């Protein structure tokens, strides 16, 4: 498919690869193919179509004129920049400004933050491909999937004799063609079929396999009701490691903190909370006000409200500790950073 697209790309065409549809998929966008362009396997793009409902997807499949939009492109840089300049000039201006004002940092090129942040957030499809008259499509059948849903993991997974794909601590009885993912607890199923069941520390999802794309409606509901599950995971990754919420109540919060070997948290303080740290694995070097402490497993310390503090892992293995926060406000934005090796904002 790439070889077929190269001559057209050298001719100034912007090539997108369309996947020959195997079934009426509602989780992908579609491309309606237009007239042949006189090159082997290359056709004009007649239209881009958003993710359809099942009835519409079936009509696309029956027509033979539609392919799945893979989001994979082939074009010369100059051809793309010329078309981007015609149809979305503001993006080109912002990116050029970010590059013109960039600075060298050893073997890195650091784009100008403000110029790049001003750039319009848009996709290649919306910014260029749906507007240009140089869009062309090459169809291919390559066993492609964007693995964009839980159903896709079932499709590509290793199935047992009953057609189930199981990950983690899962037990099944009289269960068929089902995807089960257990990340923390035992998940058991009895007398079900064609389901997706996902258990994580954040939530549990149970959905009909052919309706799993509708999980976005659950996410919309979470956002409208202001629930934190829509934006914050139970386990949050940071440049120095991660933290995981264990318990939360009125005036207190418990976290499990993991610090990578050699990593350091920012020098910081809090206006509304105090913290207790208990080391359960590894070695912790702790700055607490004017003191420096070295704690090992089964040792602990207390950080009073308003006290400047820092946590460092000087060892060769991950540092794990339990943090108990107490106070009137426990939000992550109650952090005032004095120093930070990762260049994050002071607050």
Q: Rounded to whole angstroms, how far apart are CA atoms 106 and 104?
A: 6
pLDDT tens digits along 164-193 = 999 999 999 999 999 999 998 999 999 999
- Left if phi > 0, otherwise alpha if psi is -120 to 50, otherwise beta: which for 302? beta
Q: Which domains does the chain have, with CATH numbers?
A: 1-144 (3.90.550.10), 150-216 (no CATH), 235-339 (2.60.120.10)
Say what the pLDDT of residue 318 is: 97
Q: Cα 270–323–304 angle (5° rounding)?
A: 40
Q: What is the distance between the terminal CA atoms of the chain, rounded to a whole angstrom?
A: 50
Distances (CA, A) of 165 to 33, 150, 160, 179, 206: 35, 11, 7, 5, 15
Report the C-alpha gap between 213 and 82 in whole angstroms: 36
Distances (CA, A) of 126 to 21, 48, 55, 108, 271: 22, 10, 25, 30, 45
Query: Which strands make up the sheet holding 273-281, listed edge to edge?
Result: 235-238, 241-249, 252-259, 319-327, 273-281, 300-303
Q: Which residue has the higher pLDDT, 127 or 147?
A: 127
Name the pLDDT band for 331 (thresholds 50, 70, 90): confident
**pLDDT one-digit tens code per residue, 37-66:** 988 889 999 999 999 998 999 999 999 999
Q: Is the pLDDT of residue 124 over 80?
A: yes
Contact 151, 177 (CB under 8 A): no
* Burial bucket for residue 261 (CB in 10 Å: 0-12, 13-18, 19+): middle
- Nearest-angstrom CA–CA distance, 169 and 150: 17
pTM of the model: 0.64
Give the β-pairing of 273-281 and 267-269.
unpaired
Give the per-residue pLDDT at 345. 64
- The mean pLDDT value of the chain amounts to 93
Computed from CA positions of residues 270, 275, 279, 280, in that sequence, does the dihedral angle turn out positive or negative? negative
pLDDT at 347 over 60: no
Quick check: 200 pLDDT over 80?
A: yes
Residue 32: CB atoms within 10 A of its CB come to 18
Closest CA to 48 of 149, 136, 180: 136
Of the candidates 157, 224, 146, the residue with the CA atom closest to the CA atom of residue 196 = 157
């Amino acid at each position: 498919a790439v070889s077929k697209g190269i001559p057209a790309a050298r001719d100034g065409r912007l090539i997108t690869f369309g996947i020959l549809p195997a079934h009426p998929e509602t989780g992908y966008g579609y491309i309606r193919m237009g007239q042949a362009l006189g090159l082997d396997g290359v056709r004009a793009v007649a239209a881009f179509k958003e993710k359809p409902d099942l009835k519409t997807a079936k009509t696309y499949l029956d027509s033979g004129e539609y392919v799945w939009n893979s989001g994979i492109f082939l074009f010369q840089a100059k051809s793309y920049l010329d078309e981007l300049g015609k149809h979305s000039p503001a993006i080109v201006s912002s990116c050029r400004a970010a590059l013109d004002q960039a600075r060298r940092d050893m073997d890195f090129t650091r784009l100008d933050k403000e110029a790049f942040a001003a750039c319009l957030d848009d996709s290649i499809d919306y910014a260029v491909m749906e507007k240009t008259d140089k869009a062309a499509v090459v169809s291919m059948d390559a066993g492609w999937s964007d693995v964009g849903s839980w159903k896709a993991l079932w499709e590509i997974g290793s199935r047992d004799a009953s057609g189930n794909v199981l990950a983690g601590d899962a037990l099944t009885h009289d269960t068929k063609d089902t995807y089960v993912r257990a990340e923390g607890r035992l998940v058991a199923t009895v007398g079900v079929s064609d389901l997706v069941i996902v258990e994580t520390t954040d939530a549990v999802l149970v959905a009909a396999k052919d309706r799993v794309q509708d999980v976005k409606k659950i996410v919309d509901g979470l956002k409208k009701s202001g629930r934190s599950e829509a934006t914050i995971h139970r386990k949050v990754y940071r440049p120095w490691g991660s933290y995981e919420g264990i318990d939360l109540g009125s005036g207190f919060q418990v976290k499990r903190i993991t610090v990578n070997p050699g990593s350091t948290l920012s020098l910081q303080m809090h206006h509304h909370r105090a913290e207790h740290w208990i080391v359960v694995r590894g070695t912790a070097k702790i700055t607490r006000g004017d003191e420096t402490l070295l704690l090992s497993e089964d040792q602990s310390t207390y950080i009073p409200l308003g006290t400047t503090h820092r946590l460092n892992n000087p060892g060769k293995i991950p540092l794990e500790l339990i943090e108990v926060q107490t106070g009137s406000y426990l939000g992550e934005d109650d952090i005032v950073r004095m120093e930070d090796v990762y260049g994050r904002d002071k607050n």
